[in-house]
Structure 1
Amino acid sequence: MDDTAYNPDPKAHPGLHAIALFEGAKGVLALAFAGGLLALGPDRLRESVQAIVSRFIPDAGPGAVSEWMQRINPEAIHVTVLIIAVYAGMRLLEGWGLWRARAWASWLGCIGSAAYLPLDVYALYHHPGWHTWALLIVNLVIVWVLWRDIRRRKRI
C-alpha cells in the first residue's frame, strides 16, 4: 500500500477523473437509450423487436414471441424509462462526485463496481473470451482505484 499522504485537491486524482468520465458516459448513454424508447413508442418498438427476432431467430414460431410483444405497452415503457433514468442519475451523480474527489462517490463506485464482479466471473466461466476478460479486468481496476482512494482517506 502506498504511504503517500492523501491530497484533497481533486486535480491530484487522474484515476478518479478517468472513472468519472466513464461513469458519466454510461449515464449519458442510458439517458439516450431512455429517450430512444420514449421516441419509438410501443408500436414501433414491437415492430423493431419483431424484425430483430425474425432476423436472428428465423424458426421462432409466432407464439414464441407474441407473449413478449403483448407486454410492450405504454405503461411498461414508462416504467422502464423511469428505471433507466434513475440508473443514469446515479451514474451521473457518481461521475460528478468522483470528478470532485468526494469520498461518498468513491464508496458508491467501489460498492457498485464490486457488485458486478460475481457476474463478471460467471460470464467468464460460461462465455470465455477476450471481451469477458476485458470486462472483468476493467471492473477490477475500477474497484482497486476506488478502494485505494478510500484507504488513503482513512489515513488523514
Structure 2
Amino acid sequence: MKSVKKGLRLVAALEAFKGIMSLIVGFGLHVLAGHNLRQFAESIVNHAHLNPASHVPSVFINAMSHVSESNLTLLAIGAFIYSIVRLVEAYGLWQQLVWTEWFALVSGAIYVPFELYELFHHISVLGVSVLLLNIVIVWYMAHMLFVKSE
C-alpha cells in the first residue's frame, strides 16, 4: 500500500505544479491588463537581443499588439479557474480521495486524442514526452481504480 501512496503523491505533485504554474501565468496576465502590450513585446524582443524586423519577433510583436484587454482578462480568469481545479485535484490525490482518482483518470484521458492529433501534424520530442507521461498517468490511475474495486 506504500507504493500506492507514493504513486498518488507523485501524480498529486505534478498536478500541484501545473496548478501553481497556471496561477503564476494568471497573475502575469492580470498584471499585463491595462498595459501597452506592443511596447511590452518590443521590450522582451530587445531584452533577448533579437532583431524586431526578423520574422518570429515581428509576428510576436504584431500578435501582442492585437490582444485586447478583455481577452487578456478572460485568459487570466481561465488560468485562475484551471489552477483551482488542478490544486483541488492535487489535494484530493494527496489525501487519496477516490473521486479525485476518477477525475485524474478522465481529465488525463481527455487530452490524449488532442496530443495524438498534434503529433500527427507536428512531431516533437516535447509532444511525445507529454503524450507518454499522460498515458502513464492515465494507465496508473486506471490500474489504481481497478485494483481498489477488486
State the TM-score bracket (shorter-chain normalisation). Answer: 0.7 to 0.9
Aligned residue among 11, 18, 21 for 2:10: 18
Q: Which residue of 1 aligns with 2:134?
A: 139
Secondary structure of 2:33 counterpart: helix
TM-score, scaled to structure 2? 0.80
When normalised by structure 1's length, the TM-score is 0.77
Aligned to 1:32: 24
1:3 counterpart residue number: none
| Counterpart residue number, 1:57 | 55
What's the counterpart of residue 72 of structure 1? 68
Aligned pairs for 1:68-107 (under 5 A) are: 69-73=65-69, 75-107=70-102
Distance across 1 between alignment mates of 2:127 and 2:67: 31
Larger relative contact order (CA 8 Å, sep ≥ 6): 1
- Which residue does the alignment assign to 2:34? 42
Alpha carbons of 1:59 and 1:102: their partners in 2 closer, same or farther (altered >3 Å)? Answer: closer
Q: How many residues align?
A: 143
Q: Aligned partners of 1:56 and 1:106: how far apart in 2?
A: 47
Contact 1:37 1:45 in 2 (8 A): no
The two structures, once aligned, show a CA RMSD in angstroms of: 2.8
Show the counterpart of 2:112: 117
Quick one: distance in 1 between partners of 2:23 and 2:55? Answer: 29
The alpha-carbon distance between structure 1 residues 29 and 55, as it changes in their structure 2 partners (threshold 3 A), is: farther
CA distance in 1, matches of 2:88, 2:107: 13
SS at match of 1:150: helix
| Equivalent-residue separation in structure 1 for 2:57 and 2:27 (angstroms) | 32
Aligned residues of 1:42 and 1:77 also touching (Cα < 8 A): no
**Shift of residue 124, structure 1, vs aligned partner:** 1.6
Contact 1:38 1:81 in 2 (8 A): yes
What code does the residue aligned with 1:42 have?
G
Encode CA deviations 1:75-127: one digit per residue, 9 max, x unaligned.
Answer: 33222211111100000000001111111111111111101101111122112
18 and 69 in structure 1: CA distance in 2 versus 1, 3 angstrom threshold:
same
Deviation at 1:71, TM superposition (A): 4.2
